[in-house]
Amino acid sequence: MFEGKVILITGGTGSFGRAFAHTLLTQHNPAKVIILSRDELKQYEMAQDFSGHESIRFFLGDVRDKDRLYRAFRGVDVVIHAAALKQVPAAEYNPFEVIKTNIMGAQNIIDAAIDTQVSHVLALSTDKAAAPINLYGATKLCSDKLFIAANAYAGTGRTRFSVVRYGNVLGSRGSVIPFFQEQRKLGFLPVTDPRMTRFWITLQQGMDFVTKSLSRMVGGELFVPKLPSMNIMDLARAMCPECRIETVGIRPGEKLHEIMIPRDEARNTLEYEDHFVITPNFRFFEERYDKSTATPVSEDFEYNSLDNPWKLSIESLREHLEVI
């Protein structure tokens, strides 16, 4: 998939981009890895860490700037779209800024990829895009719809688009774990609601799933991995059993439990051994896609963090935390 290819990662200085670039350069043999992002300081810092790799390039640019994307995508084979504004409170307070990046930026990537003949575009999404209740989730749902529909825009052209949707990345920037690590120094952990559950995935698992999805995609799929869930109180006890717990209430835009596949999507969902695929309503998709190893889910199926049979215990959470 990556041998001799040019791979571009938008938002490439983030947690996923840095780790995925490292994997590409150490475990594969790409012709070039391009990091496209807005922050020159983060690019400088990342360049120091990758100083021994001759195949990495750093492009300053913003997904809001279509002209820059046209320049950056020239000669690119694969685009991993990881750039997004994703902080829920900031999105609620600055809604149109998030729309410009997450929605209009997505359309810019689609147009540039089709016109420059990029082969594969895989966009990273979030469980918050399923039945969204906050602006961030709504913009990511809109972005997902744009990328899936882009396969119709591309027509018989070379470019194919798919989406990967997964849950909270263990220890990523802005996640609860770095916050809890700081709070336990004070001897107490604030918990929004003791009943709250979340899907959980490690950074390595996320990268592995992206790689597998790239090799599987024919264009139009929304890939969802099978992930464990955890209870927020179990996480708090795993991180700091001696800490005092304070319940502070659910913040605006938060859900009590997350959903990855809504019940209304069940009729379009196929189950595989380690993942699900939400299929699009395209005639040409049926001709391209091999469903021979898939099983359709039941009509009342919903994939949510509360009813998920795979739950992480306090001991399992501690094991996961050790690898961060």
Instruction: 238-242: list long-range contacts, CB under 8 Å, 24+ apart.
Output: 238/314, 238/315, 238/317, 238/318, 238/321, 239/177, 239/180, 239/181, 239/184, 239/189, 239/317, 239/321, 240/180, 240/184, 240/189, 242/187
Distance in angstroms (rounded) separating the CA atoms of residues 66 and 294: 38
Q: Is residue 140 within 8 Å of residue 125, measured between CB atoms?
A: yes
Closest CA to 219 of 137, 311, 122, 90: 122
Q: Which of 128, 140, 291, 311 is catalytic?
A: 128
Q: Is 128 a catalytic residue?
A: yes
Going from the C-alpha of 169 to that of each of 8, 88, 203, the distances in angstroms are 21, 15, 6
Phi-psi region of 135 (alpha: psi -120 to 50; beta: other; left: phi over 0): alpha
| Alpha helices, DSSP H, located in the chain | 15-27, 40-49, 66-72, 88-93, 95-99, 105-115, 135-154, 176-183, 203-216, 232-239, 283-288, 314-322
Under DSSP, is residue 263 helix (H, G, I), strand (E, B) or coil? helix
Catalytic amino acids?
Answer: 128
